[in-house]
A and B are shown apart, each in its own frame.
Chain A
Amino acid sequence: MLGFLKFFLIGLVGLTVLYGLLSVYVRSLTRERLEKEWEEMGSNGIRDDYVEQGMKDYAQSIRPKLLLGVYILPLITFCVVFYMMNFM
């Protein structure tokens, strides 16, 4: 039981670090994309307003939620490996 707790906690910490890094990375990519979009559209209006609105839209879209796959996919992998190792 203690072994399981250790495994679970280390996994949780590792995945949380990965989740944090990924969400910062994807936000940075989105911001860069919005800045380029604004330039391509002829640089109309205030650049920061356009980018901030885009970031708000991104935060409300499904895409940041997809990053929760960082937790879900390893969990599924773990279940499959556990089943195959011990019950097949």
Chain B
Amino acid sequence: MRYVKWTLIALIVLIVGSFVHYTLPQHDIVRVVGTNTERTIIASNRAMFWSSGEPTRDVQFIQTVKTNGKTMEYRNEDTGWGWPPYFKFDTSSLYTEASDAVSNKANPEWYSITHYGWRNEVLSIFPNAIAIKPVSGADAKVVPWVNIIILTFFAIVLLLIWRMWVQFRERTIDPLVEDAGEAWDAVDDKADAFADSARSKARGVKGWFSNLRK
């Protein structure tokens, strides 16, 4: 039973953690190598990793190289009013900015790309670029203020839900249980009284018989 419990807890932590990791914005320090638009067929089982829309459509991509020399590709799609709630409608502007940010290895210009989502070569999924900003150099650090604010906010919400539940239990459930307990005690007392009287009557009958024998 303990293993079941811990497996369940681990599973919930994993699912919530993945969800948060996928959805919250992250920053990569990159050198933009190029941008292009590609006709893409999105399989229905992977549609959740793309913006909603026609399964076959033109998707914009941004190709980059990270500071450690590894490559990273981003898709550039509107999120619109859908999930996650970035309300991104400026895909075309971002495409222009990214095209304007292209630099070569000899003369690198470093940019911070804000994105959400995962890159997976096997599933052919790409993080969605949200914003692009120039940074001072390859060693630039970006403080994830948005994540700090959102995670703090969710911690407060969880605390609030817990406090609400405690209050509800103290003020509503416990008195009900007490009432039920008192009602049950009353029934119990009655039953006891009945049993007592029955016993004393039985004693009376027995006593009567034993008196007869004398």
Contact = CB atoms under 8 A, between A and B. Distances in A.
Given A21-B164, A25-B164, A28-B171, A86 B90 contact: yes
Interface in A29-68: 29, 31-32
Interface in B25-61: none
A86 B80 contact: no
A82 B80 CA distance: 10
B80 to A, nearest CB: 5
Nearest to A11: B85
A82 B87 contact: yes
Contact of B86 (A4, A7, A85): A85
Contacts of B89: 85-86
B164 A7 contact: no
B167 A4 contact: no
Contact of A29 (B82, B88, B131, B167): B167
For chain A, what secondary structure do more than half of its interface residues adopt (helix, strand, loop), or is it mixed?
A: helix
A12 interface: no
Contacts, number: 37
Contact of B90 (A7, A25, A78, A85): A85
Nearest to A3: B81
Interface residues of A, number: 16
A81 interface: yes
Contact of B88 (A4, A6, A7, A85): A85
Given A3-B80, A3-B81, A81 B87 contact: yes
Interface string B78-102: 0011100111111000000000000
Given A21-B164, A25-B164, A85 B171 contact: no
A85 B114 CA distance: 11
A25 B80 contact: no
Interface string B121-157: 0000000001100000000000000000000000000
Nearest to B82: A3
Nearest to A87: B90
A78 to B, nearest CB: 8
17 contacts: A3-B81, A4-B81, A6-B81, A7-B81, A7-B85, A31-B171, A32-B167, A32-B171, A81-B85, A81-B86, A81-B87, A85-B89, A85-B90, A85-B130, A85-B131, A86-B89, A87-B90
